[in-house]
Amino acid sequence: MIVYIPIFYQVFYVVIATISVSTNCSVVYVTIRSRTLRSACNIFIALISLGDAVQMCAHFVMISTYYISPVLFYFWP
Across residues 1-30, what is the average pLDDT? Answer: 87
As a whole number of Å, the end-to-end CA separation of the chain is 18
Distance CA 45, CA 66 (A): 32
Does residue 26 register a pLDDT over 80?
Answer: yes
pLDDT reading at 59 higher than 90: no
Distances (CA, A) of 9 to 12, 19, 26, 31: 5, 15, 26, 33
What percent of the chain clears pLDDT 90, i.e. is strictly above it?
52
Indicate the DSSP class of residue 3. P
